[in-house]
């Protein structure tokens, strides 16, 4: 039986796995029950999984000097689900709103298919069920520190996309996601009564000027041909209408694709924070946190995904997608091994699979699950044949 046919036959089981995971989500670094569930499911396939990265799971299938690793992320988000699906989350305030339940179900399907073929594999395929993709510093670093890439030559992963119809596949050769950084600006002013502003140093005024000035970083300090995003996400200050608060806090995010742009944005933030606060007699501190680096797909490995997709029944088209400003810690694996992270469509308007990722009504077209199993399995086998 072909891998595609076997994956199609797994549709019911894939749906069962996905719906169980969807109903029992756990946030980053807390995936203890998910870990137990995965260990049970993999052991039932006759495999020998092991714990890794605190709440992660890994398992090897096959033997040999060549190794390929496939990753699925297993964590959910701190979001209250608003759907009425019978398999909706039973954990208040936690939801699989990014498709990680689908990723995990797909990798379980890969495990089932490859387990029955492990004596025929031309090498070793390691499945990585990774925790904490949604929260910096991310689970990928933990797995790497625990040796998950030891003896591995190439890495492979996918992300379901509600922007792409089911049956479509896409990727970018080179930078596919952005460097995803965050920052906090703490402003120390001098509080006082709202009727006597001359006796105070108003941190809200300082924060407001900073908010506007920061927008000039992209429009006036960066090359307009280089995609850069700088966003202020929160502004907190004050407790009463007639009191000038003593302090304020701003938080935001920076998205860039190049190391040079990343450094330039950080330098300009530091300059604006220092000079604008000083001009008002306030004191401000910038805490800049470098997040996940850019996912960068290698050319040869990406071309293999495209070749596999072209001959796979059920795949309607390949999309040369545009780079995404999102962040993704799969990039840490690619700093060690070449590989590809591709997008698999899961949008289906008839099934209400139309909501964006991280939306409280997000869901996915489960018809995409067997396609993901076929793509990952076939591509991993092709990677093992590379010199």
Residue positions annotated with a catalytic role: 75, 133
Radius of gyration of the chain (CA): 23
Q: Is the dihedral of CA 80, 82, 83, 86 positive or negative?
A: positive
What distance in Å separates the CA atoms of residue 109 and residue 166, rounded to the nearest whole number?
18
Q: How far, in whole angstroms, is CA 148 from its chain's centroid?
A: 19
Burial of 336 (0-12, 13-18, 19+ CB in 10 A): middle
Pairing of strands 179-188, 283-289: antiparallel
Nearest CA among 373, 383, 354 for reference residue 3: 373
Report the alpha-carbon angle 173-179-185, nearest 5.
165
Strand order in the sheet with 124-130: 50-52, 56-61, 124-130, 67-73, 154-165, 339-347, 168-170, 317-319
Give the start-end residues of each E strand in the chain.
50-52, 56-61, 67-73, 124-130, 154-165, 168-170, 174-175, 179-188, 192-193, 229-237, 243-244, 247-256, 283-289, 296-297, 317-319, 339-347
Q: Helix, strand, coil proportions of the chain in percent (round to 5)?
A: 35, 25, 35
Nearest CA among 192, 188, 208 for reference residue 248: 188
Terminal alpha carbon distance of the chain = 27
At 27, give phi and psi (nearest 5°): -75, 170
What distance in Å separates the CA atoms of residue 160 and residue 344, rounded to the nearest whole number?
5
What distance in Å separates the CA atoms of residue 16 and residue 105, rounded to the nearest whole number?
8
Residue keyed to tokens 């797994």? 10
Report the alpha-carbon angle 278-279-281, nearest 5.
60
Tokens found for residue 173: 């050769």
């Amino acid at each position: 039986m072909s891998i595609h046919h076997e994956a199609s036959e797994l549709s019911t089981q894939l749906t069962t796995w996905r719906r169980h995971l969807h109903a029992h989500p756990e946030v980053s670094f807390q995936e203890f029950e998910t870990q137990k569930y995965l260990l049970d499911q993999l052991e039932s396939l006759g495999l020998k999984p092991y714990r890794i990265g605190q709440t992660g799971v890994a398992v090897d299938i096959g033997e040999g000097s060549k190794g390929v690793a496939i990753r699925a992320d297993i964590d959910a988000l701190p979001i209250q689900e608003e759907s009425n699906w019978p398999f909706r989350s039973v954990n208040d305030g936690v939801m699989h709103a990014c498709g990680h339940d689908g990723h995990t179900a797909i990798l379980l399907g890969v495990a089932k298919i490859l387990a029955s073929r492990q004596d025929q594999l031309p090498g070793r395929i390691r499945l990585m069920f990774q925790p904490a993709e949604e929260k910096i510093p991310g689970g990928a670093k933990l797995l790497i520190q625990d040796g998950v890439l030891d003896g591995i030559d190439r890495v492979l992963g996918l992300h379901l996309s509600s922007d792409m119809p089911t049956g479509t596949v896409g990727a970018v050769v080179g930078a596919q996601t952005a460097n995803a950084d965050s920052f906090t600006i703490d402003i120390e002013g001098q509080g006082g009564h709202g009727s006597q502003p001359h006796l105070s140093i108003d941190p809200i005024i300082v924060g407001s000027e900073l908010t506007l000035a920061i927008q000039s970083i992209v429009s006036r300090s960066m090359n307009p041909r280089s995609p850069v995003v700088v966003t202020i996400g929160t502004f907190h200050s004050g407790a009463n209408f007639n009191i000038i608060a003593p302090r304020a806090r701003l938080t935001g995010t920076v998205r860039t694709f190049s190391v040079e742009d990343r450094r330039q944005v950080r330098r300009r933030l530091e300059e604006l924070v220092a000079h604008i606060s000083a001009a008002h007699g306030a004191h401000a501190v910038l805490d800049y946190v470098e997040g996940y680096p850019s996912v960068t797909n290698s050319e040869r490995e990406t071309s293999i995904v495209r070749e596999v997709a072209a001959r796979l029944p059920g795949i309607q088209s390949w999309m040369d997608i545009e780079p995404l400003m999102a962040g993704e810690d799969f990039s840490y694996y690619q700093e060690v091994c070449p590989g590809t992270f591709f997008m698999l469509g899961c949008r289906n308007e008839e099934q209400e699979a139309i909501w964006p990722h991280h939306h409280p009504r997000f869901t996915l077209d489960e018809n995409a699950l067997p396609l993901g199993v076929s793509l990952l399995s076939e591509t991993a086998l092709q990677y093992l044949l590379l010199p």
